[in-house]
Amino acid sequence: MNYGNKTVLFVCPHGAGKSRMAAAWFNGAGLPNWSATTAGIEPQTEVSAHAGRLLAGTPVEALLDQALPRPISAVPQADLVVAIDCENPLEGAVAWRLVHSEFDDAMCAEIRDRVTELVATLR
């Protein structure tokens, strides 16, 4: 944990799309003393093009993390873990099963809305 700062870790199967969008929306919310990062169960070798495409033109477009996806083990301990569409629940994680499974505007909106709800609980 960071001194005085808290971290939410968004995890998705590949750490390249859904978790990246969630972290961008979370970081864009400007929640004091909180920041978000991402990881994947089986990380892809690059960031998903879908994430950039879906966040293009949004207020959080510039907050999309372009670093290579990484495994959970490479992330320092997080204060909160949110697992998005992960088959096997991570111990202690909040599990999000998305209604919208296609990488489209509906999925992006669902992730944004869920992040907004999460931020409201952390204020």
In order of start, what are the domains of the chain with their CATH numbers? 6-122 (3.40.50.2300)
Q: How far is CA 37 from CA 68, 99, 104, in A?
A: 12, 23, 22
Sheet strand arrangement including 80-84 = 34-40, 6-12, 80-84, 94-96
pLDDT band at 89 (very low <50, low <70, confident <90, very high): confident
- Segment 93-111 shows an average pLDDT of 96
What is the per-residue pLDDT across 30-82, written as a single tens digit (0 to 9) for each?
999 999 999 999 999 999 999 999 999 999 999 999 999 999 999 988 999 99
